[in-house]
Amino acid sequence: MAGKGETKGRILDAAELLFAEHGFKDTSLRTITSKAGVNLASVNYHYGDKKTLVRAVLGRYLEEFMPALKSELEVLLSRDDFSMEDVFSCVKSPLLGLNQYRSSGATIFMSLIGRGYTDVQGHLRWFIYTRYDDVLKLFTTAVCRANPSLDPETLFWRLHFTLGASVFTMASSTALCEIAENDFARKVTTEDLIERLVPYLAAGVAAPIEQALSLVHEESTGTR
């Protein structure tokens, strides 16, 4: 059914939709190949095994997204000053750019990232951190400059809270958007979602720091 050299690509196209919707573990190679209209054995021929296919699916998006984010951040950092919202706004256009690259690209990418953090333990997280640690460092640099009063430990925790809110929302965005559309009788686009997420995250990260009793005996030395 598949034309000459397009089998490899058809697998990727089918796989990303299924992975985004059902997770990596819950998507079988049989489901993928039947949706792609190719033979079961072709996955192993082209990708070796399922794990490699998973990384290929995510890698295709990361290669598109990360360089775009990097250049946004570089532009921002060249400015004299900027707000926390400016920092988080940097992800908007790289993310929405994925919609041109592929239909529903932003949603798919966000779901995949979310799945990568929860479904499989470790190997995708590691894949992302080591491959794109330069971009991630730029991001934390920007956050620090937007609010220099953040101590490293508070920063550390708040960035992880942020990651959690984003990733979780992304992973369940299909379900959440459905509920929202039923309840509020309005279509929810990826753009809407990002517009809602950004101020929430910026406010959380920039929140005043409480000197709660149990946290006063502080002595920060870390760098991460």
Partner DNA sequence: GTCTATATTAAGATAGAC
Partner DNA sequence: GTCTATCTTAATATAGAC
- Rounded to a whole number of angstroms, the minimum distance from the CB of residue 23 to DNA is 11
Of the candidate residues 10, 60, 70, 115, the single one contacting its own copies (CB under 8 A): 115
- How far is residue 116's CA from residue 114's CA, in Å, rounded to a whole number? 5
Which residues touch 90 (CB under 8 Å, ≥6 apart)?
69, 72, 73, 76, 139, 142
Contact flag: residue 30 with DNA (CB under 7 A): yes
- How far is residue 189's CA from residue 104's CA, in Å, rounded to a whole number? 10
- How far is residue 181's CA from residue 174's CA, in Å, rounded to a whole number? 11
Of the candidate residues 9, 28, 74, 93, the single one contacting DNA (CB under 7 A): 28
Contact flag: residue 81 with its own copies (CB under 8 A): no
Of the candidate residues 78, 134, 183, 216, the single one contacting its own copies (CB under 8 A): 183
Q: Kindly list the distances between the CA atom of residue 179 and the CA atoms of 172, 173, 210, in Å, as whole numbers in the listed order.
A: 11, 10, 35
Contact flag: residue 35 with DNA (CB under 7 A): no
Contact flag: residue 122 with its own copies (CB under 8 A): yes
Contact flag: residue 49 with DNA (CB under 7 A): yes
Q: By CB under 7 A, what part of segment 96-155 binds DNA?
A: none
Of the candidate residues 38, 108, 110, 128, the single one contacting DNA (CB under 7 A): 38
Q: Any idea what the Cα angle at residue 153 is, between residues 134 and 112, rounded to 5°? A: 45
